[in-house]
Every structure is written in C-alpha cells, then in structure tokens.
Amino acid sequence: MRLLLIVGLLLLPLSLSATSLSVTSPDGKISLTLDDASLTYQVQFNGKQVIAPSQLGFRFLQLPAMASGYKIVGHSRSSADTQWQQPWGERETVRDQHNELAVSLSHPQRQAPFTLRFKVFNDGLGFRYEVPPQGVDKLDIIDELTEFRISDSQHTTAWWIPGRGWNRYEMLYRTTPLHELDRAHTPVTFKRPDGVYLSIHEAALVDFAAMVLDQQRDGVLKSDLTPWSDGIRVKTPGSFITPWRTLQIADTAVGLLNSDLILNLNEPNKLGDVSWVKPGKYAGIWWGMHLGTETWGSGDKHGATTDNAKRYIDFAAEHGFDGVLVEGWNIGWDGEWFLNGAVFNFTQTYPDFDLAAVSAYGAKKGVKLVGHHETSGHISNYEAQMAAAYDLYATHGVSQIKTGYVADGGQATRIDENGIERKEWHDGQLMVNHYLYSVQEAAKRQISINTHEPIKDTGLRRTYPNWITREGARGQEYNAWGSPPNPPEHTAMLPFTRMLSGPMDYTPGIFNLAYNGLDAENRVQGTLAKELALYVVLYSPIQMVADLPEHYDAHSEAFQFIKDVPTDWVQSIALQGEVGDFVVFARQDKHSKDWFLGALTDEFPRKISVKLDFLASGQRYTAQIYRDAATTDWRTRPYDMIIEQQQVTANDKMILPLAASGGVAIRFKAH
Amino acid sequence: MRLLLIVGLLLLPLSLSATSLSVTSPDGKISLTLDDASLTYQVQFNGKQVIAPSQLGFRFLQLPAMASGYKIVGHSRSSADTQWQQPWGERETVRDQHNELAVSLSHPQRQAPFTLRFKVFNDGLGFRYEVPPQGVDKLDIIDELTEFRISDSQHTTAWWIPGRGWNRYEMLYRTTPLHELDRAHTPVTFKRPDGVYLSIHEAALVDFAAMVLDQQRDGVLKSDLTPWSDGIRVKTPGSFITPWRTLQIADTAVGLLNSDLILNLNEPNKLGDVSWVKPGKYAGIWWGMHLGTETWGSGDKHGATTDNAKRYIDFAAEHGFDGVLVEGWNIGWDGEWFLNGAVFNFTQTYPDFDLAAVSAYGAKKGVKLVGHHETSGHISNYEAQMAAAYDLYATHGVSQIKTGYVADGGQATRIDENGIERKEWHDGQLMVNHYLYSVQEAAKRQISINTHEPIKDTGLRRTYPNWITREGARGQEYNAWGSPPNPPEHTAMLPFTRMLSGPMDYTPGIFNLAYNGLDAENRVQGTLAKELALYVVLYSPIQMVADLPEHYDAHSEAFQFIKDVPTDWVQSIALQGEVGDFVVFARQDKHSKDWFLGALTDEFPRKISVKLDFLASGQRYTAQIYRDAATTDWRTRPYDMIIEQQQVTANDKMILPLAASGGVAIRFKAH
C-alpha cells in the first residue's frame, strides 16, 4: 500500500476567539493540543499528560517575537499510511502512518501568518515551524522559545550528555534525576515514574542550528540553538522552515529503539539511483595509531605506507572484507596534528604512500581503498580543496571517505569574508551546512561519507543515502587512551541514547582486549563475546574490523562470526533491554534467510530468556552461538568463550548467559 | 601605614624572543608566570602548580582575535602595602598588600599594544585586560578565551551552581568531582586532592558581561561571557578594561572566608561622605506573603495596609529595630505579578496604603520605612519611573530600597530603540549596567539599595557603599514554598560559596520553624539556635527580623539575641569550618567591646572546640550562650534551647555542642 488516505487539505476559517486544536495518533494513544492565545502545546499519552503546556515560538533581531497574541486563522488535516523502501538500513521497508495537522497562525501587528505543522505517529510526534517571507530581507533568529515541559523532574530519570563546550558528543552518558540536567545535546532519553519512556530530538536538521536542551527551571527543557561565532543563532533570508522537533514515546525502553519516527520525518531520497552506496565491512590502518605503535605523521612508525596498505588489502581479501581505510596518507599530520587544520593537504601523499599503486592493488584483489580526510575542523582549508580531493579519490576508485573534524577546543575554524579567523561550533548553522555540503559534493562523485566528529544524526541518510554512517559518541578509541576508557555500561547505553539518532561507526572487533595487560585501566572493558555482539547491537551499514590483522589469528574461530555477520538488514527488532543495563537485538540478513542476534550487558552478569518467534515460521535453523563461558570474567578471563551449535525453530526459546560486561552473538543459519 | 613601597613603574624594553615574566605574592608562596608567545599564564602555590598553562585573550567581531603571536614590549612592577577603611563591613580596616606586574603586549599585525595587569596577594591574585583604542569605533567581544586549567578534575571537588538558564543564582549548591561541572556561575569553590582550596570569581564587574565558567574538557574552565539578546558578549566603543579575573588560594576552607581579595581589587569609594548609609536591622510585611496568609496584591488579605505597617512600626520601635519593609504597597501586583513587569507603578499606592501617614508614623517612632520596588525584571518600565520613584521615597525619608527582579523564564525585559521587546540575562552587560545605574541614581538621593534577584556581587560595595546588600542565592523564602526547601547543609554551604562574593540578605530569624507542622516538607530544616546563629554567620550590614511579630512572643528569651546582635563589625574571623559541613565565625561589634560568635552545622551533630583567643587579652566577658540542648532535634524538638551564661577570658576554650542542623549563638559581653 502506497497511500491510503489524504483528507482535509483545505483551509478552514475559524472564529477570532481563543482556540485549541488537537491531533491524535492513528491508534488514538497520543494526543497533541495547540492553544493559540498562549502559543503553547501539550501532549497526552494513554490519557496522561507527558508534556505539560509548553511555549512555542522564536525571537528575532529585526522583528518582534513570535510568542503570543496569535490567532488560528486556518488549519488543514491529513492522514497517511504509506510504506517506503530504504536502499540500506535496519529494515528494508518502513511504514509511515501518521495524522497531520497544519495550523496557520496570524498576529494582528505582524505580517504573513506562519504555519505550525504537526505529525503524530503511534510512536511519537514531530512538529515544525514554517515561516513565510516577513517583509525583511534578513531575519536573524536570536532565540528559539520551544519548550518541552516534563513534570516531576525529581522522579523522572534522564540519560544525557552535556550540551556545548566540548561538542563532538564524545562524553559518557549520565544517568540522573531530570532536575540535575543543565544543558544536553539531543537525543535525550527519559523514563517517567509511571514507566513511560520519552526521547526528545530533532529530524531533518538542514540550514539551521542544532537544538540543545537547556533546563531553565525544574522540568522545563527549552531549545537552546547553538549560535554562530557572532552570537546569532540562525541566519535566514526572511523566511525559514525549521527542522522537526521530535518526541518519541514508548511503554518500554526497546519501544524507542523500534521506532522509525526520525526517518519518517525526513524527506525522501534526493539522489535517485544510489546502488553505488555499498554497505559492508572494512579493515584499516587506524588502531595502531591509537595504541601508539604507529603514527599518522611521517617517520619510522608511519602507518600509511604502501607496503602496510597492501598487507591490509591482503588481509581484507583473504577474509572477504570490502575495504581498507588508510589514515595518515596525506601531508599535514606532522607535529600536533589537531592544530594543523590550515596545513592539511588533501591531494598530496607522503612519499612512502603511493595512492595509485595501493588502489590498483586493491582493485586487483577486489578490495576498495577507503579514503580519509582529517580536517582538524578547518573547514575553509577543506572546502577550498574539496572538489580536487574528492576528484582524486574518485579517479582511484574510492567510494567511501571517512572525514574527521578533531578541533582543538571543540570548535571548527573558518576564515571569514574579511580574512578574520572565526571559531564555530560543530553544531551551529554554518557547520550543519558544511557537513551536508561535503555529503552533496561527494554524492556527485558517487562517494559515500562516514563523518567523524560530526553533526549529530537527524535522519538525513534517508534524503542523502550516501551519508552512510558517522561517529558522534565515544567510540572504541577511548579504550586505547580515554581517561576513563568506556566503562562496561557504555555499549548498553548507546542503543538507547546516541543511536536513537541513527547508525554509528563505533569500530568494534578489538580482539586483543588488554594490550597493556589485564590490569591496565586502558583496555576493552568487556569480554570477547561482547565484542562480537557489537556487530549486531550497534547498527551501522559499514562496520570496521578494527583490530590489527595479527590479533585475529589468536581467535580465528571467534573471527568467523565477524566474517559471517552482514551489515544490511531486511528487518531489525530490539527484543529486550533497559537503558544502560542490557539490550538484545535480532536482525535478518538482506542477502539470505539468516537471522542474527546480539545481546550485551553492563557490569552485571545476567541470564536472558529469548523467544525465537522472530524467526520464519516453519523454517529450521542452525544457531551458531558465540557466548561467554561460566569461567568468563572480563577482568581476568575475557577471552573464555563457548562456540556451539543448536538446531532451532521459531517455536524455541533460548537462555542466553552473559558474564559481567559480556555478550552473545548468534547466527541463525537457515537450512 | 598608608603606602610602603612603589617601584619599577617605568617600561622596560625587552628583546623580541619569546618571553616569560613572573610575579610572586609578598610572602613568596604564590607565583604567576606569563608566557607571551602562547599568551598563557600559570600559577604555582607553595611550589605546586595550581593552574596549569591557561589561555588568555578575546575574539572580536570586527578584528582578529587577541590570542597568540604577541610579544612583551614592556612591563612595569610595583608593590603596595596599604590599609583602607570601610564605612561598614566585616572589618573596619582592610590591608591591601600585593605585588603588581603590568605587561604591555604587542602583535605585529595589530594596532596599539594592550596591557595585562596582575596583582598577586598572599591570599590569591587577580588579573585584567586593558585594551586601548584599536582604530575601530565599535569593538564587539564575541568570546573571552581566558581559561583556568585545574589538573586532576577527577579528584578535585567542586562546589557550584549551574550557570545561565535560570539565572538568579537561586539553586542548591552541588558537591561533585570537578569533571561533573558543566557550566557554573562564579564564585566556584574547589578543593584539590592535596587539600588546597581555590575560589574562582571576578572583581569589579562594571560595563561588562559576567564571567560564567564553562568546562570545555576535563579540568579546563573557560570564561563564557553572558551574551546580550543579540548574541554579542560585550559591546565596547573600541577600547575596554575588563573586570578582574580572580583566584583565591588557601590552605584551609576558612582561609577563603578570611580573604579581602575581592574588595582589594575594587576601586575606592566614589561617593565621598557616606555616613547616610546605615547598617541595621529591619522587620517587615513579607513573610506572610510567602506563607500565603497575606498577599502582595489587593484584596482581603492585602499585607501592605496602613494599619499593618503601623503595627510593624510599633513592633520595630518596641524592640529597637531600625526599619520596616513594606512589600506590595504599589499598584501592579494583581494577577500573576511576575508577569506584570510593564504594569508596575512605582509612585502610586494601593488605596489602603497611605505612604505619607506610614512614613510620618515611623518618623515619630524612630523607625524608617524601607522601600520596595518589584520590577519583575522589566527594566524599561523601571528606568522610566526610577527618578520619580526614588524622589518620592526620598521625600518620605526612606533611605533604603529593596529592589526585585523576579523575571519569568529567568530573563529581564527591555524595549529596544525600535520598540522591539528584548529578553536579557540578569548577568549580561545591559543588566550589569542597569543594576549599577539604580545604585548610582539612589546614591544621588542618599538612598541605599538592597538588590534581590541581583547581578552577583563582585565587591562594588567598596566603590558604591550604598549598594548595601543583595540576595543572589536561595534565601529563607524557599523554606516556605521551595521544592525542596533549603536542606540542613544549605547555610553551611553559603559562607564558602555565594558569600565569598559579599553580603547576603538571607532574611534569617524565622521562629515559627514549622508553620505547617513538624512533618511538613516545607518548614525551616534547622533548630531555633541555628536561626540565631545565622545573624553572625551570614554577614549582611542590614539583617531582617523576618518572622511575623507574633511569632517572637513564644520565644522572647531567644529573641533577646536578635535584639542584641549588631550588623556592623570591627573585625570578623572565620575560625573553623568545612565547605557545606559547618562553620564558626567570631565578630567584634563596632559600637562596643563585645564579641559575637555564631556556629552552625549541616545534618550532622557535632561538638566544636573553640579557643577564645580572638577576645581582647586581659578583658573579662560574660558569654551569653544560646545553644541546642541535648534533647534538641530539628525534626521533632527544634525549639529546645539552652540559654546560659559563663564568665570567660581570651585564655579560655569552649566546647560548643551542636545538634543535627543545629547552631549556637554567643554574645561575649565585655565587662
């Protein structure tokens, strides 16, 4: 079914008294009400108020605020129940079922009415502002007034990372009563005292500043748009359409994970045929630099040599991986590279790296070179070279580039029109536009982008499917040098927080878990089985096989799972889980009838009972199970693993025993 | 001794290579070093680094940043050891002993060198930027780069309140490892793992935005200047002098309390003869509104009636208090008064309040009417009426006004030159200027200002002694309706945090501790003796006698202490204490030879042993002691109090027994 029903698109004239309008979800459980006099909205779920009356609006530099005194002068309603296909993703087919309300609001002393558009789904809602030309040729937004008022901030739990300051999102998630949250990046996850889960985020962040949530007073979370360096929040030509402000609502924690709300609020694919965007797995010259055994810069320990790249290509070819990432291949890394933004050259290689030779060698072996551009956040330098740099890679058959924006002090650098160096936040309007510009320029050359130190994901992969993955949270590298490294709960936290926004390039698969010894603080704080589970739990259409090739030799049986696990799915189901505690995912391979399951836990061991009713009915499967042993202990015996087989059908149930910070990975091979 | 030594005022030319310059405290324990190439400074205390190399500088809208590439082109040194007198204060005579270093820094591509001026005292240091005209007629500061890098953020404790958002500073102080601080208002108090205490704040905040501390990454606290509504941090005419950025350093927690650093970094009194500024005690029509038994607005429960005011005047006259505050006397309170900013009329009384009659009645009884102006943060409305409003009060002999800025959403309101309503932070440049303007306008009429919902104190009472006190933290009223009310540790926290900045109008002296019953959450969470101790512990030159007159009758013996305790001191000494745990203060009356002691504790009872060696040697005293009894329990028996006398001299020692959330108050009456 493509389109069930569209009704009520005409504007209905209304009386001039204060008015409320409501819109409910298709299943009737969620209800949103707009009040025009106060310009506030509120949200009910199952008859309970989950968002108390909350302000809407903006303040501008050139015009009076859009805040109150408005009248509804018209509205339209529509309903949709459609399906659309993803070129790649957690699932092939996405259902978009929602009720829509578009309200036209007018103010006696202002020009042109504006529109508030609400879409209410069974799993949450989104709304956005559509502001037509206001009779000025420049309209600067200096504050967004949108609030999310959550009552009982003392007894609502929030999972969050601090907003702004250090803004690559690479912080440990905090678990606190809501009232202890000061300012947080979205998505922010909440659990109300009645057990209802919420997530506040945004969708389709384009030509706008990111919404950070600022707790103005207990329970009042207000949009705090990240400013430009000159303090303006958003620069518009006099009219604008905002991203969608989103609220996901679920009865269970995994309910948030099984939601497609963010994708449904993005525009369809604008790139046409994207068969050139290829999910897959890649190895690469990367982990050695984090361990300190190799360097990005030139010298004796330079990682990106032609010989080393060929060795990795051999490794990838032998095991069936699609690509090899090479970091540190280009001029600019010497010295303190995170200060080298203006120095990086994206077309000149170090003398010991032969780009043509390496890519030709890869082509012969069926392995693609994965490109790499570290900018240190100097976007003027990068944009000046971008066309030439992407052309160069395209010439050599590179179809994916990992970009990096490690900026000292957390802000990107640009040179403005007067030659003045400016520092800009990663999530301000300028950088939002820069990141998308990079993706669009890459698309012209059939190149996919994997952004590190990115703008947060807001579902733009639907519109630009070559934005294939990104970082945007603490990844594996913190285990090498982070202080502290990622604690056992971290990967049980990510699915319920960061990953509500989209795929993450966590770079799993470290097999040499304790490179400095079991007692060293900096090591992988988990078991080998958990490292396998990450490939199923932390969704990304491209997954790294992150460790050094030689480290896989010691555990070749476990390595088989990494070779077998796909990265593209017909369907994904979060079966069980609690935020920061544990999670169980089942996913169906897109290129076979196989299913895969991944489960992992925080610092507590647990036994999880899983019904296999997600499997195809009547189909027999061999479950290839990689699990913690009774002797497994992430601190002392992290490598202990039982690999066993079991014959199962959809009628069976499995008991999954997870060690502390352990995991389990299963391939259900269809007969 | 007025001035010991001034040396080295000439500019010393230096070579053009990278240069470091140091300046040490008079006792040699503190050393600050400036490096010109990186434009960084660092601080040592007793040979240990307490501030790691930290950035200095600014970013501007119109010019390149002041951040690096500078050369020292001259410097001057001076030393001072002087004393100055306070018209009122914690002590009569303040010693100002410091070494000063002024460094002239030049950049090859920039105009006019700027000066960094450092003053290093035995109890800490301050520095400021002095930027001469830069060849532009407008220079907007868009970021201050000043950092305070505190190493070991995992093991340093920070006591702090969140910065911005809700910005009247009325939040409970948090005790966390430093790395959990996101953004905090100053002063922020720290304890390093080696036991050294630090406080970061600023002095002489004039025509500038407040410095908020933002933790950019672990341990790196950066100045985050509060912006104007248009995003600019500070607007200057092309040149500017900043407030002093201050660092207090002490071996003990009470060392921070005994420091005069903030006052020493302010300019001397600019008002000349200020004998008209009168410390003292006041009662008032106030607490009934917080309890809900009276209203600010008109109607049956209107508190500010002529009769009620006369009743309070009788009460004050009977017990020797100086003034009576009347809140709710003027038109504008009806409805949701915190939204009434544009409505308040500061010269028109409600019909049931006769300003002339009340002030005349007070004059006859020797009691002054204390004025009150609630603005709800609408400063355009207030400034338009300010001259007339102050004139009116002056006409009626009012010499103190309590002002209020309760602004909905935490931001003040102004109407800009284009008629657009703007929302401005309480601590942005505009409001910093507004608050001082109010004080200056009041001074012209010999009126003192007690600002509620103020800009934080930065020691300007030295320059403008009619800025007599202010709020700027959670006061007593939170016990009436706060959620939660002030917990037992709160008043043990304030001296080490908020009150490092200056006096606070906490409004102590609630005797009916549990107006809704002992089990109610909203009550005073302490003992009656603790309520007395507040008058000594929480310094303010004017102290309220905050409860309803009738509530003092039940405890007339305890009430005697409030009648006896002065509010102006020859000397004050913080004897013992730990942040948020307990504190003991001794203060010497300015108008007698008496000393007073106040001690209070958090939720833990404790016995404190105090040597009385602060008393005058050879002098005999009768100690009039108001203390918790063995039976006292703040939850069930908060009123149990022992009042006893003891003959003591400076050679004696006293053991002070404090109940949980208890206190002790002592008058040492000199024979």
Contact A620, A629 (CB under 8 A): no
pLDDT at B17: 63
pLDDT tens, position by position, A444-500: 999 999 999 999 999 999 999 999 999 999 999 999 999 899 999 999 999 999 999
- Residue A353: Cβ within 10 Å count: 22
Q: Cα dihedral sign for B469, B474, B476, B481?
A: positive
Contact B187, B499 (CB under 8 A): no
The catalytic residue among B477, B521, B531, B603 is B477
Which chain A residues are within 8 Å of B342, Cβ to Cβ?
none
* Active-site residue, selected from the candidate residues A202, A374, A471, A477: A477
What local confidence, expressed as pLDDT, does residue A658 receive? 98
DSSP conformation letters of B579-630: TTTEEEEEEEESSSS-EEEEEEESSS-EEEEEE-TTSPTT--EEEEEEEE-T
d(CA B633, CA B56): 51
Minimal C-alpha gap between A207 and chain B (Å): 19
Structure tokens at B464: 């403008």
For residues A582 and A77, give the distance between their C-alpha atoms in angstroms, rounded to a whole number.
41
What's the rounded Cα separation, in Å, for the pair B33 and B127?
12
Contact B32, B118 (CB under 8 A): yes
Numbered residues of chain B with Cβ closer than 8 Å to any chain A Cβ: 59, 61, 63-65, 140, 142-143, 154, 162-166, 174, 182-183, 214-218, 222, 227-233, 409-410, 420-423, 483
What per-residue string of b and e applies to B250-272 under the rule 16 or more CB within 10 Å gives b? beebbbbbebbbbbbbbeebebe
- Are A166 and B216 inside 8 Å of each other by CB? yes
User: B391 phi and psi, to 5 degrees?
Assistant: -60, -45
- B166 closest CB neighbour out of A165, A217, A232: A217
Q: Choose among A64, A162, A230: nearest Cβ to B61.
A: A230
What is residue B165's predicted lDDT score, i.e. its pLDDT? Answer: 62
Closest to A628 in 3D by CA, of A538, A533, A527, A559: A527
Q: Determine contact, residues A161/A184, Cβ cutoff 8 Å.
A: yes
Contact criterion met (CB below 8 Å) for B457 and B503 = yes
Å between A419 CA and nearest CA of chain B? 8
Q: How far is CA A136 from CA A68, A233, A240, A368, A540, in A?
A: 21, 17, 12, 51, 44
Which one, of A617, A558, A624, A570, lies nearest residue A597 by Cα? A624
**Are A483 and B143 inside 8 Å of each other by CB?**
no
Give the span between the Cα atoms of A527 and B178, in whole angstroms. 31
Residue B202 appears among annotated catalytic residues: no
Which chain B residue is nearest to residue A173, measuring alpha carbons? B180
Shortest Cα distance, chain A CAs vs residue B230, angstroms: 6
What pLDDT sits at residue A162? 92
Q: Which residues contact A418 (CB under 8 A, 6 or more apart)?
A: none
Q: How far apart are CA A9 and CA A13, in angstroms?
A: 13
Q: Which amino acid is at B578?
A: E
Nearest partner of B166 among A156, A213, A215, judged by Cα:
A215
Low-confidence ranges of chain B (pLDDT < 70): 1-17, 164-167
User: Helix, strand, or coil here: B46?
Assistant: coil
DSSP reduced 3-state for B644: strand
In this structure, chain A runs to a length of: 671
Closest Cα partner for A400 from A386, A412, A390? A390
- Closest Cα of chain B to A184: distance in Å? 10
Cα separation, B167 vs B170, in Å, equals: 7
pLDDT of residue B472: 96
Residue A403: the pLDDT is: 98
pLDDT at B476: 98
pLDDT in tens, A595-622: 999 999 999 999 999 999 999 999 999 9
Number of separate helices (H) and strands (E) present in chain B: 12, 38
Q: In angstroms, how far is CA A156 from the centroid of its own chain?
A: 24
Q: pLDDT tens for residues B608-626?
A: 999 999 999 999 999 999 9
Angle at B287 between CA B284 and CA B288, to 5 degrees: 105
Question: Given B143, B165, B222, which is nearest A216 (Cβ)?
Answer: B165
The segments of chain A whose pLDDT lies below 70 read 1-17, 164-167
- Whether residue B507 contacts residue B522, with contact meaning beta carbons closer than 8 Å, is answered with no
Closest Cα in chain A, distance from residue B408 (Å): 10
**SS3 helix, strand, coil % of chain A, rounded to 5?**
20, 35, 45
The chain A residues in contact with chain B (CB within 8 A) are 59, 61, 63-65, 140, 142-143, 154, 162-166, 180, 182-183, 214-218, 222, 227-233, 409-410, 420-423, 483
Query: ipTM of the predicted structure?
Result: 0.91
CA distance A565 to A168: 29
What is the Cα–Cα distance from A372 to A284, expressed in whole angstroms? 11
**Closest residue to A216, CB basis, from B227, B410, B421:** B410
Q: Which chain B residue's Cα is nearest to A63?
A: B420
